[in-house]
Amino acid sequence: MAIDLQQIGKRFRFYTNLKELEMEQLKAMTGSDETTLANIISGQNYLLDDLVAIVKNFKDLNPQWLIYGEGSMFKPMNADGTCHDHQKGCLKKDKAAYLKQMQNMLIELDAAEVAKGHHPDVEALKAKLDQYRATH
């Protein structure tokens, strides 16, 4: 299976938006420079070694999903409902606007995956967003 840098960038951007991570936070968390991070997010002009070094800093991110679009975005949660970083999910932003933004990004990811002939599990992600909206 070929690796598509643009698709990886879109998935990484989706993940960082979902986690509400800004560029300054990404730089601090990963020790990477802004140019490398911006190139990964935009899907151009970066080495996979740079990506691997950065991904190691996100304990809940499933690298199989990030690189190939396969499986769930997140690694399995702990029994107490926390992620590997021990934080329960919470939104700092306006929930309705935030969920709308995430749905729009899912639509963009889905369209890009379909255009490439991939069959992602985007419907499962949409269902999780809908479930979250219903419970919060």
What is the reported pTM? Answer: 0.61
pLDDT by residue for the chain (136 residues), tens only, comes to 568 889 999 999 999 998 999 999 999 999 999 999 999 999 998 888 899 999 999 989 999 899 988 888 888 765 555 554 444 444 455 666 666 777 777 777 777 777 766 655 666 777 777 888 788 7
- Return the pLDDT at 80: 56
- Return the pLDDT at 120: 55
- Return the pLDDT at 70: 85
Distant-in-sequence, close-in-space partners of 106: CB < 8 Å, separation ≥ 6: 14, 122, 125, 126, 129
Print the domain residue range for 13.
5-135
Q: Among residues 63, 129, 62, 118, which one has the least CA distance to residue 96? A: 129
Q: What's the domain count of the chain? A: 1
- Return the pLDDT at 31: 94
- Return the pLDDT at 132: 80
Distances (CA, A) of 55 to 22, 41, 121: 16, 12, 21
- Return the pLDDT at 48: 85
Measured CA to CA, the distance from residue 109 to residue 74 in angstroms comes to 16
- Return the pLDDT at 118: 61
- Return the pLDDT at 122: 62
CATH of the domain at 69: 1.10.260.40
- Return the pLDDT at 69: 86
